[in-house]
Structure 1
Amino acid sequence: FGILFLAGLEQAPHTNRWRFRFMSLNEEKELCDSAFLAVHEQYKNKILGDNRIETIFVRHVMNNLLKGLNDDLMTLKNI
């Protein structure tokens, strides 16, 4: 059990914290892709087009949030 636990440990890239990975990166990607497709199928008729004002506003807010997140991640890398 101890060897299995140690084999699953890895350091997070931005915070250098140790975490336990219980599935491979490929398994995680497959799980996420499948979940995304299920949610997309469920709401496909409610997804707004790229040119709608609501979509443009959300994209603008998201880009601002991502800029702040990137700044925070750079700070974490420097600590």
Structure 2
Amino acid sequence: MIIKIKGANGGEQHHIQLSTGGVTQTLAAFSGDTVTTSFKEVEIDLAAKDVDRNSPGQLTMTFWHGGKSTIWIDEIRFE
């Protein structure tokens, strides 16, 4: 999964929680990548994270543990 994202301050990967296919983690834990203030593609290896790709259900994203900022998502795609 690839998410093209940018944040108002950068570093928001620690404050965004994703949940899909029975796995819930911060974006930082899913990807190990950093959100910056410019659009950037953040890659997530769903198989390596044990996401059930046959029945992923909904993809949800929330701010985690009171984190707050502004993020922009330009694209989410599965490859």
TM-score between both structures, scaled by the size of structure 1? 0.21
Which structure has the larger Rg over C-alpha atoms?
1
TM-score between both structures, scaled by the size of structure 2? 0.21
Higher strand share: 2
Q: Which has the higher contact order (CA 8 A, sep 6+)?
A: 2
